[in-house]
Homo-oligomer: A and B are copies of this chain.
Amino acid sequence: MSRQGNVTIKDVAKRAKVSVASASRAINGVGRISQETKDRILKAAQELNYVPHFGARSLITKKNNIIGVLLPDLYGEFFSEIVRGIDYAARLGGFNILLSSYHNDENETKTAIAAMRGRVDGMVAMFPFETDDDDLRNTLNAPMVKIANSSSKAKIPLIAIDNADGAKTAIKHLYDCGKRKIAHLSGPKNNLEASDRMRGYREAMDGLELKTNIFEGDFREETGFNYAPAIARLVKDGAIDAIFVGNDTMAIGLINGFKRLGIKIPDDVALIGFDNTPVASYITPGLSSMGVDMATLGKRAVEILKQLINNDDDLQEEAHFTPVLFPRSSSVAKLREEEMTIQENLAF
């Protein structure tokens, strides 16, 4: 029943007939030690199945080699991809990751941070709401980098997803497809991403000297579906020939609604969503969308954090992530074959 690592560095030292100091030097590969005693010690450690006690080590070195990760309630691809990137970069730096996910409100979040406090060397966090950065910094007491959207003026190093810029790209794309009467089905009013995307829409339309036309939505599929009849009428009247939808989920609802009503996509009306959800490529017609590479985003966040952990001067870096366009048949009448992946190829 050899449960918790009862074999200590003393045992190793004893077996190799050296002091604990030498044992430590051999194990960590630092300090002066002859090759042969080093070998002897390592052999002893191996034989005893020795594992250092990280608590004791961190007590003296003040390092945990752990970074905390705090994520909101994310689903599917979104979640797995960002964790993938974080894990990758952390492993490169010899860090383990302490994960706490599925937080929705500020209280849960603070509790989670408190639980990590003192056991992580730093943290990368993503919040679905505005945060009091000074407060956060205080309760964590370690460097932290935030993943957020660009409009938040953070007092913490930030990886900013530029939703407004993404929206502009989307509008530009619809414009390039020949559409001029471009409406927007927005996300919920108090949502930061939603308002950034709306802002981008407005600015882009202004730049093109087109008239804006906004419907207030809430990011839910059902809502998209329910909006279909009203919007379909405007499409038939020729008042709308394209829609920039606040997110893919809602766009999918809208598409399904349009299908029932016999509206032709993209001929009658072109559609583009946001987030590049996996289903965007599976639905018929394929849904054009704006997406950011979440894996790279996570990786980048950790890289900045690692810098922060090493040089403890607070560099106030802000990295920008611009969503890129994934054109599919909901906006482009005929895609050239070679632009499509095998997946998309099959789905069309």
Contact = CB atoms under 8 A, between A and B. Distances in A.
A99 interface: yes
Interface in A124-146: 138, 141-143
A3 B99 contact: no
B256 A347 contact: yes
A227 interface: no
A191 to B, nearest CB: 21
A259 to B, nearest CB: 9
Contacts of A153: none
Interface string A262-291: 000000000000000011001110000000
A117 B175 CA distance: 57
This chain's copy number in the assembly: 2
A197 to B, nearest CB: 23
A312 B96 contact: no
A92 interface: no
A252 B281 CA distance: 13
Chain B CB count within 10 A is highest, among A102, A221, A282, for: A282
B98 A97 contact: yes
A54 B119 contact: yes
A252 B3 contact: no
A162 to B, nearest CB: 25
Interface stretch (A26-34, A71-79, A182-190): A71-79
B3 A346 contact: no
A284 B76 CA distance: 21
A205 interface: no
Nearest to A256: B346
A252 B101 CA distance: 31
A96 B100 contact: yes
Nearest to A220: B342
Given A117-B51, A346-B221, A101 B77 contact: no
Contacts of A35: none
B3 A142 contact: yes
B102 A100 contact: no
Interface stretch (A80-88, A165-173, A234-242, A328-336): A80-88
A303 interface: no
A95 to B, nearest CB: 9
A344 to B, nearest CB: 11
Nearest to A52: B118
A343 interface: yes
Interface of A: 1-5, 49, 51-59, 62, 64, 66, 69, 74-80, 83-84, 87-88, 91, 96-102, 115-119, 138, 141-143, 221-222, 225, 252-253, 256-257, 278-279, 282-284, 312, 342-343, 346-347
15 contacts: A51-B118, A53-B58, A53-B59, A55-B57, A55-B58, A55-B59, A66-B98, A79-B79, A87-B100, A96-B116, A97-B99, A222-B346, A253-B346, A282-B282, A284-B284
